[in-house]
Amino acid sequence: MQIAPMHDNPDYILLLISPRDIADRLGRSMQVKSAAKSAIGMAEMLAHEIKNPLAGISGAAQLLSMNLPPEDREMTDLIVEETRRIVKLLEQVEQFGNLRPPERRAVNIHDALDRARKSALVGFAAHLSIVEEYDPSLPATFADPDQLMQVFLNLIKNAAEACKGEGHTIRLRSFYDHSLRLRRKSGGPAVLPLTVEIIDDGPGIPPDIAADIFEPFVSGRENGTGLGLALVSKIISDHEGWVSVESVPGRTAFRVSMPVAPKKLEAS
Ligand SMILES: Nc1ncnc2c1ncn2[C@@H]1O[C@H](COP(=O)(O)OP(=O)(O)OP(=O)(O)O)[C@@H](O)[C@H]1O
Ligand SMILES: [Mg+2]
């Protein structure tokens, strides 16, 4: 609920009541965007600056290890290995900062989903089955095809990482949903009827981080960077779309809502 005085008549106030769920999510998404922007800008600069001295540290440790008997190399190996891990993390941060503005065109959402599914099945999701429940009649969306695939790939990767062991299934659903309407930055209404859900039957999002998973560097995994969902959130917001999640143990569903491509573009 929001209360504000009326400018032209101080005897009155304006009372704005919206359903709690949507108000929460909108407020949070604004915070996430600005937090992500400043955290990433800063982190990107740091990443760049830290990589050089790290190369020195790693090189020095390797030199040191040459003069050590094998049984004493454990510590230098640790330095080299951990340095490598930091460099990888920094590269991910830099990649995040380098994200270019989307080159949007009319795109079949199922093509992007299929590319992500195929790439997942030959790699991190080889132990899972991925089933498609598509509505083939969906019109094209207006998106950068590579970035859209990156979004789906990140969501499938998270689902696969949550579903350890054999016998799990990831479901990819697509359908038309009229109900989601948002206000664009420009003020006009945004209708986002093209809906994709990525649903897994894993343990669910850890409750202690559930409210913050779209923020950068929030991870519930031991080796997680916590940048996957921040990237998803950034790409989707650059496309004026919407991403949300519902999770209970045994069922986690990420939902991506996208606009329909403008009519004149659909033939291209
Ligand atoms: N499908 C899911 N099921 C359960 N937990 C999830 C799921 N998707 C995300 N999470 C939780 O949200 C956290 C944040 O995800 P995010 O993709 O941002 O980072 P990450 O996967 O930990 O690291 P990165 O993607 O950078 O390698 C995950 O660490 C995990 O705890
Ligand atoms: Mg991830």
User: What is the 42 CA–ligand 1 centroid distance (Å)?
Assistant: 22
Residue 113: DSSP 8-state: H
Give the containing element (helix H, strand E) for 147: helix 145-162
Nearest-ligand number for the alpha carbon of 219 = 1
CB of 193 closer than 8 Å to CB of 177: yes
Domain annotation for the chain: domains and CATH numbers: 22-97 (1.10.287), 105-265 (3.30.565.10)
User: What is the 234 CA–ligand 2 centroid distance (Å)?
Assistant: 14
- One digit per residue, the tens of pLDDT, for the chain of length 268 reads 777 777 677 788 877 776 655 555 555 555 555 655 566 667 777 787 888 888 889 988 998 898 899 888 999 999 998 898 888 888 877 777 777 889 999 999 999 999 999 999 999 999 999 999 999 999 999 999 999 999 999 999 999 999 998 899 999 999 999 887 777 767 777 889 999 999 999 999 999 999 999 998 899 998 888 989 999 999 999 999 999 999 999 999 999 999 999 987 655 4
For 40, other C-beta atoms within 10 Å of its C-beta total 22
230 is written with which tokens? Answer: 């921040």
Ligand 1 closest atom vs CA 202: 3
CA 240 from centre of chain = 14
Q: Is the CB of 220 under 6 A from ligand 1?
A: yes
User: What is the 155 CA–ligand 2 centroid distance (Å)?
Assistant: 7
Q: How far is CA 202 from CA 169, 224, 252, in A?
A: 9, 17, 7
Q: Is the CB of 231 under 6 A from ligand 1?
A: no
Sign of torsion over alpha carbons 200, 206, 212, 213: negative
Q: What angle do CA 253, 256, 260 make, to 5 degrees?
A: 150
Helix 20-66 vs helix 73-97: angle between axes, to the nearest 10 degrees?
A: 140
Q: Is the CB of 227 under 6 A from ligand 1?
A: yes
Nearest CA to ligand 1 atom 10: 205
